[in-house]
Protein backbone atom coordinates (compact mmCIF):
# COMPACT_ATOMS: atom_id res chain seq x y z
CA UNK A 1 0.00 0.00 0.00
CA UNK A 2 1.42 3.41 -0.89
CA UNK A 3 1.54 6.40 1.43
CA UNK A 4 -1.64 7.97 0.10
CA UNK A 5 -3.64 4.78 0.63
CA UNK A 6 -2.31 4.33 4.15
CA UNK A 7 -2.98 8.02 4.86
CA UNK A 8 -6.58 7.73 3.74
CA UNK A 9 -7.30 4.61 5.76
CA UNK A 10 -5.68 6.23 8.78
CA UNK A 11 -8.02 9.21 8.46
CA UNK A 12 -11.02 6.88 8.22
CA UNK A 13 -9.77 4.90 11.24
CA UNK A 14 -9.65 8.18 13.16
CA UNK A 15 -13.21 9.20 12.31
CA UNK A 16 -12.70 11.55 9.34
CA UNK A 17 -15.53 10.97 6.87
CA UNK A 18 -15.55 13.95 4.48
CA UNK A 19 -12.97 15.66 2.30
CA UNK A 20 -13.55 19.02 0.57
CA UNK A 21 -11.25 18.98 -2.42
CA UNK A 22 -9.61 21.23 -4.97
CA UNK A 23 -6.50 19.21 -5.82
CA UNK A 24 -3.67 19.53 -8.31
CA UNK A 25 -0.87 17.36 -9.69
CA UNK A 26 0.90 16.88 -6.35
CA UNK A 27 -2.27 15.41 -4.83
CA UNK A 28 -3.14 12.90 -7.57
CA UNK A 29 -2.16 9.83 -5.53
CA UNK A 30 -4.39 11.07 -2.71
CA UNK A 31 -7.19 11.61 -5.25
CA UNK A 32 -6.71 8.03 -6.47
CA UNK A 33 -6.77 6.71 -2.91
CA UNK A 34 -10.06 8.49 -2.19
CA UNK A 35 -11.47 7.02 -5.39
CA UNK A 36 -10.78 3.48 -4.16
CA UNK A 37 -12.70 3.72 -0.90
CA UNK A 38 -16.31 4.03 0.19
CA UNK A 39 -15.31 5.32 3.62
CA UNK A 40 -14.56 8.93 2.65
CA UNK A 41 -17.03 11.32 1.02
CA UNK A 42 -15.34 13.56 -1.51
CA UNK A 43 -16.92 16.97 -2.19
CA UNK A 44 -15.42 18.99 -5.04
CA UNK A 45 -15.29 22.77 -4.85
CA UNK A 46 -14.33 25.19 -7.61
CA UNK A 47 -12.24 27.40 -5.34
CA UNK A 48 -10.09 26.62 -2.32
CA UNK A 49 -11.90 29.18 -0.16
CA UNK A 50 -15.05 27.09 -0.59
CA UNK A 51 -13.17 24.00 0.61
CA UNK A 52 -11.89 25.68 3.76
CA UNK A 53 -15.16 27.44 4.55
CA UNK A 54 -17.04 24.18 4.09
CA UNK A 55 -14.65 22.39 6.44
CA UNK A 56 -15.31 25.15 8.98
CA UNK A 57 -19.08 24.68 8.74
CA UNK A 58 -18.76 20.90 8.91
CA UNK A 59 -16.58 21.07 12.00
CA UNK A 60 -18.91 23.51 13.77
CA UNK A 61 -21.83 21.08 13.47
CA UNK A 62 -20.17 17.65 13.51
CA UNK A 63 -17.76 18.48 16.37
CA UNK A 64 -15.05 16.61 14.49
CA UNK A 65 -12.83 17.50 11.56
CA UNK A 66 -13.40 17.08 7.88
CA UNK A 67 -10.30 17.43 5.74
CA UNK A 68 -9.47 19.71 2.88
CA UNK A 69 -7.25 18.66 -0.01
CA UNK A 70 -5.40 21.66 -1.46
CA UNK A 71 -2.62 22.20 -3.97
CA UNK A 72 0.69 23.53 -2.68
CA UNK A 73 1.21 27.03 -1.26
CA UNK A 74 -1.03 28.91 -3.74
CA UNK A 75 -3.93 26.56 -3.06
CA UNK A 76 -3.49 27.02 0.67
CA UNK A 77 -3.27 30.79 0.19
CA UNK A 78 -6.52 30.82 -1.78
CA UNK A 79 -8.18 29.10 1.17
CA UNK A 80 -6.54 31.12 3.93
CA UNK A 81 -9.29 33.71 4.41
CA UNK A 82 -11.79 31.09 5.52
CA UNK A 83 -9.12 29.25 7.50
CA UNK A 84 -8.70 32.52 9.38
CA UNK A 85 -12.42 32.40 10.21
CA UNK A 86 -12.17 28.72 11.19
CA UNK A 87 -9.22 29.43 13.47
CA UNK A 88 -11.08 32.26 15.20
CA UNK A 89 -14.08 29.94 15.57
CA UNK A 90 -11.88 27.17 16.98
CA UNK A 91 -13.40 24.80 14.45
CA UNK A 92 -11.90 21.34 14.00
CA UNK A 93 -10.34 21.33 10.51
CA UNK A 94 -7.63 19.16 8.96
CA UNK A 95 -5.85 20.55 5.89
CA UNK A 96 -3.97 18.17 3.62
CA UNK A 97 -1.61 20.26 1.50
CA UNK A 98 0.21 18.54 -1.30
CA UNK A 99 3.84 19.55 -1.86
CA UNK A 100 6.55 18.87 -4.40
CA UNK A 101 8.40 15.60 -4.02
CA UNK A 102 11.17 15.94 -1.43
CA UNK A 103 13.93 15.60 -4.05
CA UNK A 104 12.27 18.11 -6.40
CA UNK A 105 12.20 21.05 -3.99
CA UNK A 106 15.86 21.89 -4.62
CA UNK A 107 15.04 23.01 -8.17
CA UNK A 108 12.76 25.89 -7.13
CA UNK A 109 10.00 24.99 -9.59
CA UNK A 110 7.38 27.69 -10.32
CA UNK A 111 4.94 26.44 -7.65
CA UNK A 112 7.55 26.10 -4.94
CA UNK A 113 6.80 28.15 -1.83
CA UNK A 114 7.31 28.13 1.93
CA UNK A 115 4.11 26.26 2.81
CA UNK A 116 4.90 26.05 6.52
CA UNK A 117 5.19 29.84 6.80
CA UNK A 118 1.96 30.29 4.84
CA UNK A 119 0.13 27.79 7.04
CA UNK A 120 1.22 28.94 10.49
CA UNK A 121 -0.93 32.10 10.79
CA UNK A 122 -4.14 30.17 10.00
CA UNK A 123 -3.33 26.91 11.83
CA UNK A 124 -2.91 25.79 15.41
CA UNK A 125 -0.61 22.93 14.36
CA UNK A 126 1.54 22.50 11.23
CA UNK A 127 3.70 19.56 10.23
CA UNK A 128 5.48 18.46 7.04
CA UNK A 129 5.82 14.72 6.42
CA UNK A 130 9.38 13.46 5.96
CA UNK A 131 8.88 9.95 4.52
CA UNK A 132 6.11 7.66 3.29
CA UNK A 133 6.64 5.49 6.38
CA UNK A 134 5.94 8.50 8.61
CA UNK A 135 2.75 9.50 6.82
CA UNK A 136 0.21 7.28 8.64
CA UNK A 137 1.32 8.23 12.15
CA UNK A 138 1.58 11.90 11.17
CA UNK A 139 -1.96 11.75 9.77
CA UNK A 140 -3.30 10.25 12.98
CA UNK A 141 -1.55 12.97 14.96
CA UNK A 142 -3.05 15.65 12.69
CA UNK A 143 -6.57 14.39 13.44
CA UNK A 144 -5.77 14.28 17.16
CA UNK A 145 -4.50 17.87 17.08
CA UNK A 146 -7.62 19.09 15.27
CA UNK A 147 -9.87 17.33 17.78
CA UNK A 148 -8.94 19.38 20.85
CA UNK A 149 -12.11 21.01 22.24
CA UNK A 150 -13.63 23.26 21.04
CA UNK A 151 -11.56 22.49 17.92
CA UNK A 152 -8.33 23.44 16.19
CA UNK A 153 -7.02 23.86 12.66
CA UNK A 154 -4.25 21.39 11.85
CA UNK A 155 -2.29 21.40 8.60
CA UNK A 156 -0.39 18.38 7.29
CA UNK A 157 1.94 18.97 4.34
CA UNK A 158 2.35 15.84 2.17
CA UNK A 159 5.24 15.76 -0.36
CA UNK A 160 4.22 13.88 -3.51
CA UNK A 161 6.78 11.09 -3.12
CA UNK A 162 5.56 10.43 0.44
CA UNK A 163 2.18 9.76 -1.15
CA UNK A 164 3.35 7.50 -3.98
CA UNK A 165 6.14 5.54 -2.22
CA UNK A 166 5.41 2.31 -0.37
CA UNK A 167 4.36 2.92 3.23
CA UNK A 168 3.42 1.00 6.36
CA UNK A 169 0.06 -0.13 7.70
CA UNK A 170 -2.54 2.52 8.50
CA UNK A 171 -2.39 3.94 12.00
CA UNK A 172 -5.16 3.09 14.46
CA UNK A 173 -7.44 5.60 16.14
CA UNK A 174 -5.55 7.78 18.64
CA UNK A 175 -8.76 8.75 20.42
CA UNK A 176 -9.64 12.32 21.31
CA UNK A 177 -7.91 14.66 23.74
CA UNK A 178 -9.68 15.08 27.06
CA UNK A 179 -11.17 18.50 27.64
CA UNK A 180 -9.51 20.03 30.72
CA UNK A 181 -11.71 21.31 33.52
CA UNK A 182 -11.61 24.84 34.89
CA UNK A 183 -9.50 25.46 37.97
CA UNK A 184 -11.57 25.01 41.16
CA UNK A 185 -10.10 28.30 42.38
CA UNK A 186 -11.52 30.03 39.28
CA UNK A 187 -14.93 28.56 40.05
CA UNK A 188 -14.81 29.73 43.67
CA UNK A 189 -13.67 33.20 42.63
CA UNK A 190 -16.51 33.50 40.11
CA UNK A 191 -19.03 32.48 42.77
CA UNK A 192 -17.62 35.07 45.16
CA UNK A 193 -17.88 37.81 42.53
CA UNK A 194 -21.43 36.83 41.64
CA UNK A 195 -22.59 37.06 45.24
CA UNK A 196 -20.84 40.26 46.38
CA UNK A 197 -23.65 42.54 45.19
CA UNK A 198 -21.64 44.36 42.50
CA UNK A 199 -23.03 44.79 38.96
CA UNK A 200 -21.67 41.82 37.03
CA UNK A 201 -21.74 40.48 33.48
CA UNK A 202 -21.15 36.92 32.33
CA UNK A 203 -19.67 37.03 28.79
CA UNK A 204 -19.88 33.68 27.02
CA UNK A 205 -18.69 32.00 23.84
CA UNK A 206 -17.55 28.67 22.34
CA UNK A 207 -18.21 25.70 24.66
CA UNK A 208 -20.36 27.86 26.96
CA UNK A 209 -22.98 28.41 24.25
CA UNK A 210 -24.58 24.97 24.20
CA UNK A 211 -28.28 24.91 25.06
CA UNK A 212 -27.37 23.59 28.51
CA UNK A 213 -24.62 26.18 29.01
CA UNK A 214 -26.95 29.09 28.24
CA UNK A 215 -29.61 27.57 30.52
CA UNK A 216 -27.09 27.32 33.37
CA UNK A 217 -26.08 30.95 32.86
CA UNK A 218 -29.73 32.00 33.03
CA UNK A 219 -30.17 30.13 36.31
CA UNK A 220 -27.11 31.91 37.70
CA UNK A 221 -28.47 35.26 36.48
CA UNK A 222 -31.80 34.69 38.23
CA UNK A 223 -30.06 33.93 41.50
CA UNK A 224 -27.40 36.64 41.46
CA UNK A 225 -28.75 39.45 39.28
CA UNK A 226 -25.86 39.12 36.83
CA UNK A 227 -26.50 39.88 33.16
CA UNK A 228 -25.57 37.35 30.49
CA UNK A 229 -24.08 38.26 27.10
CA UNK A 230 -22.42 36.39 24.28
CA UNK A 231 -19.73 37.63 21.91
CA UNK A 232 -20.94 39.60 18.90
CA UNK A 233 -19.98 36.76 16.55
CA UNK A 234 -20.18 33.16 17.70
CA UNK A 235 -19.15 29.79 16.33
CA UNK A 236 -22.49 28.15 17.10
CA UNK A 237 -25.37 29.18 19.32
CA UNK A 238 -28.42 27.16 20.33
CA UNK A 239 -31.39 29.53 20.34
CA UNK A 240 -35.12 29.89 19.73
CA UNK A 241 -38.23 28.53 21.42
CA UNK A 242 -37.70 26.22 24.38
CA UNK A 243 -34.20 27.52 25.06
CA UNK A 244 -32.83 30.17 27.40
CA UNK A 245 -31.92 33.53 25.90
CA UNK A 246 -29.01 35.88 26.36
CA UNK A 247 -28.00 39.20 24.86
CA UNK A 248 -25.48 39.74 22.10
CA UNK A 249 -22.75 42.31 22.67
CA UNK A 250 -23.01 45.10 20.12
CA UNK A 251 -20.63 45.39 17.17
CA UNK A 252 -19.85 49.10 17.38
CA UNK A 253 -18.05 50.56 20.37
CA UNK A 254 -20.86 52.97 21.21
CA UNK A 255 -23.32 50.05 21.29
CA UNK A 256 -21.25 47.71 23.42
CA UNK A 257 -19.94 50.30 25.87
CA UNK A 258 -23.49 51.51 26.46
CA UNK A 259 -24.67 47.95 27.14
CA UNK A 260 -22.10 47.31 29.87
CA UNK A 261 -21.18 50.82 30.97
CA UNK A 262 -22.30 50.31 34.58
CA UNK A 263 -20.65 46.98 35.33
CA UNK A 264 -18.00 46.59 38.00
CA UNK A 265 -17.15 42.95 37.26
CA UNK A 266 -16.77 40.98 34.02
CA UNK A 267 -16.57 37.17 34.12
CA UNK A 268 -15.49 35.50 30.87
CA UNK A 269 -16.61 31.97 30.04
CA UNK A 270 -14.98 30.48 26.95
CA UNK A 271 -13.89 33.88 25.66
CA UNK A 272 -11.74 36.92 26.41
CA UNK A 273 -12.46 40.51 27.41
CA UNK A 274 -14.32 42.33 24.60
CA UNK A 275 -12.57 44.83 22.33
CA UNK A 276 -13.52 46.63 19.14
CA UNK A 277 -13.20 45.00 15.73
CA UNK A 278 -11.31 48.13 14.65
CA UNK A 279 -9.92 51.31 16.13
CA UNK A 280 -11.81 54.56 15.47
CA UNK A 281 -10.65 58.12 16.09
CA UNK A 282 -11.86 59.25 19.49
CA UNK A 283 -13.58 55.95 20.38
CA UNK A 284 -12.44 53.33 22.92
CA UNK A 285 -10.78 50.07 21.91
CA UNK A 286 -11.94 48.26 25.07
CA UNK A 287 -15.68 47.91 25.62
CA UNK A 288 -15.62 47.41 29.39
CA UNK A 289 -15.04 50.11 32.02
CA UNK A 290 -11.37 50.65 32.81
CA UNK A 291 -11.92 50.02 36.52
CA UNK A 292 -13.94 46.80 36.08
CA UNK A 293 -12.56 43.64 37.68
CA UNK A 294 -11.93 40.91 35.09
CA UNK A 295 -12.01 37.18 35.77
CA UNK A 296 -11.83 34.11 33.52
CA UNK A 297 -14.03 31.28 34.75
CA UNK A 298 -13.06 28.92 31.91
CA UNK A 299 -10.62 29.39 29.04
CA UNK A 300 -11.65 28.68 25.46
CA UNK A 301 -10.32 25.12 25.67
CA UNK A 302 -11.76 24.27 29.09
CA UNK A 303 -15.08 22.61 29.90
CA UNK A 304 -17.22 25.73 30.20
CA UNK A 305 -20.51 23.89 30.65
CA UNK A 306 -19.15 21.95 33.62
CA UNK A 307 -17.69 25.15 35.09
CA UNK A 308 -21.06 26.90 34.83
CA UNK A 309 -22.75 23.94 36.52
CA UNK A 310 -20.24 24.15 39.38
CA UNK A 311 -20.84 27.89 39.78
CA UNK A 312 -24.60 27.34 39.77
CA UNK A 313 -24.16 24.88 42.63
CA UNK A 314 -21.85 27.26 44.51
CA UNK A 315 -24.34 30.15 44.41
CA UNK A 316 -27.41 27.99 44.98
CA UNK A 317 -29.00 28.67 41.58
CA UNK A 318 -31.81 26.12 41.71
CA UNK A 319 -34.56 27.85 39.72
CA UNK A 320 -35.44 26.47 36.32
CA UNK A 321 -34.09 28.49 33.38
CA UNK A 322 -36.42 30.98 31.72
CA UNK A 323 -37.19 29.55 28.31
CA UNK A 324 -38.15 31.44 25.17
CA UNK A 325 -41.71 31.04 23.99
CA UNK A 326 -42.50 30.73 20.29
CA UNK A 327 -43.69 34.21 19.29
CA UNK A 328 -42.97 34.73 15.62
CA UNK A 329 -43.88 38.14 14.18
CA UNK A 330 -46.04 37.07 11.25
CA UNK A 331 -45.45 37.89 7.60
CA UNK A 332 -44.86 41.40 6.32
CA UNK A 333 -46.61 43.11 3.44
CA UNK A 334 -45.72 45.60 0.75
CA UNK A 335 -42.21 46.94 0.44
CA UNK A 336 -39.41 44.38 0.72
CA UNK A 337 -37.03 45.43 3.49
CA UNK A 338 -34.65 43.80 5.98
CA UNK A 339 -37.51 43.91 8.50
CA UNK A 340 -39.99 42.05 6.28
CA UNK A 341 -37.30 39.50 5.38
CA UNK A 342 -36.64 38.96 9.09
CA UNK A 343 -40.37 38.50 9.68
CA UNK A 344 -40.61 35.82 6.99
CA UNK A 345 -37.50 33.90 8.06
CA UNK A 346 -38.55 33.95 11.73
CA UNK A 347 -42.13 32.91 10.98
CA UNK A 348 -41.38 30.18 8.45
CA UNK A 349 -38.10 28.74 9.78
CA UNK A 350 -38.64 25.03 10.48
CA UNK A 351 -37.73 23.38 13.77
CA UNK A 352 -34.11 22.25 14.11
CA UNK A 353 -32.87 24.36 11.19
CA UNK A 354 -29.34 25.74 11.02
CA UNK A 355 -28.92 29.40 10.06
CA UNK A 356 -25.58 30.53 8.63
CA UNK A 357 -25.42 34.30 9.03
CA UNK A 358 -23.39 36.61 6.86
CA UNK A 359 -26.20 39.11 6.47
CA UNK A 360 -23.99 42.09 7.36
CA UNK A 361 -25.82 45.43 7.62
CA UNK A 362 -29.14 44.15 6.26
CA UNK A 363 -29.16 40.95 8.30
CA UNK A 364 -29.70 42.44 11.76
CA UNK A 365 -33.52 42.24 11.78
CA UNK A 366 -33.42 38.57 10.78
CA UNK A 367 -31.06 37.76 13.63
CA UNK A 368 -33.16 39.63 16.17
CA UNK A 369 -36.53 38.25 15.07
CA UNK A 370 -35.31 34.65 14.95
CA UNK A 371 -34.64 34.77 18.71
CA UNK A 372 -38.29 33.74 19.17
CA UNK A 373 -38.49 31.35 16.20
CA UNK A 374 -38.50 27.56 16.27
CA UNK A 375 -35.41 26.10 18.00
CA UNK A 376 -32.37 26.27 15.75
CA UNK A 377 -28.59 26.76 15.67
CA UNK A 378 -27.11 30.11 14.61
CA UNK A 379 -23.62 30.34 13.07
CA UNK A 380 -21.78 33.66 12.74
CA UNK A 381 -18.79 35.13 10.93
CA UNK A 382 -16.21 34.77 13.70
CA UNK A 383 -13.09 36.08 12.01
CA UNK A 384 -14.50 38.96 9.97
CA UNK A 385 -13.11 37.69 6.66
CA UNK A 386 -16.12 37.92 4.37
CA UNK A 387 -17.20 35.15 2.03
CA UNK A 388 -17.63 32.50 4.72
CA UNK A 389 -21.41 32.10 4.52
CA UNK A 390 -22.00 30.13 1.31
CA UNK A 391 -19.11 27.67 1.88
CA UNK A 392 -20.02 27.28 5.56
CA UNK A 393 -23.56 26.35 4.52
CA UNK A 394 -22.11 23.66 2.25
CA UNK A 395 -20.22 22.12 5.15
CA UNK A 396 -23.21 22.33 7.50
CA UNK A 397 -25.43 20.56 4.97
CA UNK A 398 -22.88 17.77 4.49
CA UNK A 399 -22.56 17.34 8.28
CA UNK A 400 -26.34 17.55 8.93
CA UNK A 401 -28.20 16.12 5.93
CA UNK A 402 -31.41 15.81 7.96
CA UNK A 403 -31.58 19.52 8.87
CA UNK A 404 -32.72 22.48 6.77
CA UNK A 405 -29.89 24.97 6.25
CA UNK A 406 -30.64 28.65 5.63
CA UNK A 407 -27.84 30.99 4.59
CA UNK A 408 -28.60 34.71 4.96
CA UNK A 409 -25.96 36.59 2.99
CA UNK A 410 -25.09 40.10 1.86
CA UNK A 411 -24.56 40.50 -1.86
CA UNK A 412 -21.04 41.87 -1.63
CA UNK A 413 -19.77 39.07 0.60
CA UNK A 414 -21.47 36.40 -1.49
CA UNK A 415 -19.38 37.31 -4.52
CA UNK A 416 -16.19 36.25 -2.73
CA UNK A 417 -17.15 32.57 -2.79
CA UNK A 418 -20.08 32.40 -5.19
CA UNK A 419 -18.66 29.14 -6.59
CA UNK A 420 -20.18 27.39 -3.52
CA UNK A 421 -23.54 27.42 -5.34
CA UNK A 422 -22.16 24.94 -7.86
CA UNK A 423 -21.16 22.56 -5.08
CA UNK A 424 -24.61 22.88 -3.48
CA UNK A 425 -26.18 21.85 -6.81
CA UNK A 426 -23.72 19.07 -7.51
CA UNK A 427 -24.24 17.51 -4.07
CA UNK A 428 -27.99 18.33 -3.99
CA UNK A 429 -27.58 19.94 -0.57
CA UNK A 430 -30.65 21.13 1.33
CA UNK A 431 -29.59 24.78 1.53
CA UNK A 432 -31.75 27.85 0.99
CA UNK A 433 -29.66 30.94 0.22
CA UNK A 434 -31.17 34.39 0.80
CA UNK A 435 -29.13 37.12 -0.89
CA UNK A 436 -29.77 40.54 0.67
CA UNK A 437 -29.21 42.63 -2.45
CA UNK A 438 -28.63 46.30 -1.65
CA UNK A 439 -25.99 46.57 -4.41
CA UNK A 440 -23.30 48.10 -2.27
CA UNK A 441 -20.70 47.41 0.41
CA UNK A 442 -22.98 49.19 2.85
CA UNK A 443 -20.93 48.39 5.94
CA UNK A 444 -17.96 50.12 4.31
CA UNK A 445 -20.03 53.21 3.56
CA UNK A 446 -20.83 53.29 7.27
CA UNK A 447 -17.19 52.74 8.20
CA UNK A 448 -16.08 55.49 5.82
CA UNK A 449 -18.01 57.97 7.91
CA UNK A 450 -17.05 56.43 11.25
CA UNK A 451 -13.31 56.68 10.72
CA UNK A 452 -13.63 60.38 9.98
CA UNK A 453 -12.94 60.26 6.24
CA UNK A 454 -14.47 63.40 4.78
CA UNK A 455 -14.33 62.71 1.03
CA UNK A 456 -17.83 61.56 0.03
CA UNK A 457 -17.75 62.34 -3.69
CA UNK A 458 -18.81 59.99 -6.47
CA UNK A 459 -15.29 58.66 -7.05
CA UNK A 460 -15.04 57.65 -3.40
CA UNK A 461 -18.48 56.07 -3.20
CA UNK A 462 -17.98 54.21 -6.48
CA UNK A 463 -15.33 52.11 -4.73
CA UNK A 464 -18.07 50.80 -2.41
CA UNK A 465 -20.82 50.45 -5.02
CA UNK A 466 -21.95 47.21 -6.73
CA UNK A 467 -23.92 48.71 -9.62
CA UNK A 468 -22.92 49.53 -13.21
CA UNK A 469 -23.49 46.74 -14.03
CA UNK A 470 -25.97 45.29 -11.54
CA UNK A 471 -25.27 41.78 -10.32
CA UNK A 472 -27.90 39.15 -11.06
CA UNK A 473 -27.74 36.39 -8.47
CA UNK A 474 -30.70 34.71 -10.14
CA UNK A 475 -28.69 34.34 -13.34
CA UNK A 476 -25.59 33.19 -11.47
CA UNK A 477 -27.54 30.69 -9.39
CA UNK A 478 -29.30 29.22 -12.41
CA UNK A 479 -25.99 29.11 -14.28
CA UNK A 480 -24.58 26.90 -11.51
CA UNK A 481 -27.59 24.61 -11.33
CA UNK A 482 -29.46 26.12 -8.36
CA UNK A 483 -33.18 26.91 -8.60
CA UNK A 484 -33.22 30.70 -8.23
CA UNK A 485 -35.81 33.47 -8.06
CA UNK A 486 -36.07 37.22 -7.52
CA UNK A 487 -38.24 38.82 -4.84
CA UNK A 488 -39.04 42.54 -5.03
CA UNK A 489 -41.97 42.70 -2.58
CA UNK A 490 -42.63 41.21 0.83
CA UNK A 491 -45.38 39.03 -0.62
CA UNK A 492 -43.06 37.63 -3.29
CA UNK A 493 -40.38 36.87 -0.72
CA UNK A 494 -42.87 35.26 1.67
CA UNK A 495 -44.14 32.91 -1.02
CA UNK A 496 -40.67 32.00 -2.30
CA UNK A 497 -39.21 31.41 1.15
CA UNK A 498 -42.20 29.29 2.24
CA UNK A 499 -41.82 27.21 -0.90
CA UNK A 500 -38.13 26.70 -0.18
CA UNK A 501 -38.84 25.60 3.39
CA UNK A 502 -41.28 22.97 2.09
CA UNK A 503 -38.94 21.36 -0.43
CA UNK A 504 -35.52 19.75 -0.33
CA UNK A 505 -32.46 20.68 -2.31
CA UNK A 506 -30.61 23.91 -3.08
CA UNK A 507 -32.57 27.10 -3.57
CA UNK A 508 -31.55 30.77 -3.99
CA UNK A 509 -33.75 33.83 -3.41
CA UNK A 510 -32.38 37.20 -4.41
CA UNK A 511 -34.12 39.77 -2.19
CA UNK A 512 -33.89 43.13 -3.94
CA UNK A 513 -34.04 45.62 -1.09
CA UNK A 514 -36.09 48.77 -1.51
CA UNK A 515 -33.97 51.01 0.69
CA UNK A 516 -30.96 51.07 3.00
CA UNK A 517 -31.16 50.45 6.72
CA UNK A 518 -29.41 51.39 9.93
CA UNK A 519 -26.16 49.42 10.21
CA UNK A 520 -25.09 46.77 12.64
CA UNK A 521 -26.38 43.42 13.87
CA UNK A 522 -29.22 43.17 16.34
CA UNK A 523 -28.22 42.87 19.98
CA UNK A 524 -31.05 40.46 20.72
CA UNK A 525 -29.94 37.03 19.68
The tens digit of pLDDT for each residue in 325-355 reads 999 999 999 999 999 999 999 999 999 999 9
For residue 520, name the pLDDT band (cuts at 50, 70, 90). Answer: very low
- Rounded to an integer, the average pLDDT of 267-277 is 92
- Rounded to an integer, the average pLDDT of 43-63 is 98
- Rounded to an integer, the average pLDDT of 45-60 is 98
CA distance 391 to 56: 8
Please check whether residue 49 is in contact with residue 387, taking contact to mean a CB–CB distance below 8 angstroms: yes
- Is residue 516 pLDDT above 60, yes or no? no
Percent of the chain at pLDDT above 90?
Answer: 84
Model confidence, pTM: 0.94
End-to-end CA distance of the chain: 52
Question: What's the confidence (pLDDT) of residue 466?
Answer: 72
CA distance 90 to 109: 34
Domains of the chain, residue spans: 3-164, 184-315, 338-512
- Rounded to an integer, the average pLDDT of 95-115 is 97
3-state secondary structure of 157: strand
- Rounded to an integer, the average pLDDT of 90-113 is 97
- Is residue 63 pLDDT above 70, yes or no? yes
Q: Which CATH superfamily is domain 338-512 in?
A: Thiamin diphosphate (ThDP)-binding fold, Pyr/PP domains (3.40.50.970)
CA distance 469 to 411: 14
Kindly report the three-state secondary structure assignment for every residue of 71-104: EHHHHHHHHHHHHHHHHHHCCCEEEEEEECCCCC
- Rounded to an integer, the average pLDDT of 471-492 is 97
Question: What's the confidence (pLDDT) of residue 524?
Answer: 45
Q: Which helix (H) or strand (E) holds 432?
A: strand 431-437
3-164: CATH class: alpha beta
Percent of the chain at pLDDT above 70?
Answer: 94
Question: What's the confidence (pLDDT) of residue 300?
Answer: 96
CA distance 361 to 25: 41
Edge-to-edge order in the sheet of strand 18-22: 41-44, 18-22, 66-71, 93-99, 153-159, 125-128
Question: What's the confidence (pLDDT) of residue 284?
Answer: 81
The tens digit of pLDDT for each residue in 394-439 reads 999 999 999 999 999 999 999 999 999 999 999 999 999 999 998 7
- Rounded to an integer, the average pLDDT of 375-398 is 97
- Rounded to an integer, the average pLDDT of 186-212 is 97
Tell me if 3-164 shares its fold with 184-315. yes
- Rounded to an integer, the average pLDDT of 431-452 is 75
Contacts of 6 (CB under 8 A, 6+ apart): 132, 135, 136, 167, 168, 169, 170, 171
Question: What's the confidence (pLDDT) of residue 251?
Answer: 81
Please check whether residue 408 is in contact with residue 436, taking contact to mean a CB–CB distance below 8 angstroms: yes
CA distance 159 to 131: 8
- Rounded to an integer, the average pLDDT of 211-221 is 97
For residue 444, name the pLDDT band (cuts at 50, 70, 90). Answer: low
Question: What's the confidence (pLDDT) of residue 518?
Answer: 43
Question: What's the confidence (pLDDT) of residue 223?
Answer: 97
Angle, in degrees to the nearest 10, between helices 135-146 and 3-13: 30
Question: What's the confidence (pLDDT) of residue 468?
Answer: 78
From the candidate CATH numbers 3.40.50.1220, 1.10.1200.10, 2.60.40.10, 3.90.25.10, the one assigned to the domain spanning 184-315: 3.40.50.1220
Computed over every residue of the chain, the mean pLDDT equals 93
Question: What's the confidence (pLDDT) of residue 447?
Answer: 64
Question: What's the confidence (pLDDT) of residue 255?
Answer: 84
For residue 459, name the pLDDT band (cuts at 50, 70, 90). Answer: confident
Which region among 103-117, 200-214, 362-376, 460-474 has the lowest average model confidence (pLDDT)?
A: 460-474
Give the number of other Cβ atoms within 10 Å of residue 351's Cβ.
Answer: 14
Amino acid sequence: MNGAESLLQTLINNGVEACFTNPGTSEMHMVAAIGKTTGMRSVLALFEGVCTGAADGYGRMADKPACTLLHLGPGLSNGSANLHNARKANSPVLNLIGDHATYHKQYDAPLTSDIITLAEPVSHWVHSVATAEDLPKDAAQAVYEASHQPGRVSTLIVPADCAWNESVDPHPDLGRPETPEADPASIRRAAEMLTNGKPTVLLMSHLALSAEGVALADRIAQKTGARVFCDTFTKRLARGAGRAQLERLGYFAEQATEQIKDIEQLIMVGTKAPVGFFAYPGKPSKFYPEEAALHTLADVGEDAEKALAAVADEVGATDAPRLVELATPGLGKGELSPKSIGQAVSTLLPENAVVVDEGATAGGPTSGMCAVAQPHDWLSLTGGSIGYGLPCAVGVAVACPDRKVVCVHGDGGAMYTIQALWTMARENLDVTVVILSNRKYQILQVELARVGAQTMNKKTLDMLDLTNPDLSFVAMGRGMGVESSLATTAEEFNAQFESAMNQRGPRLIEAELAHTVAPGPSNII
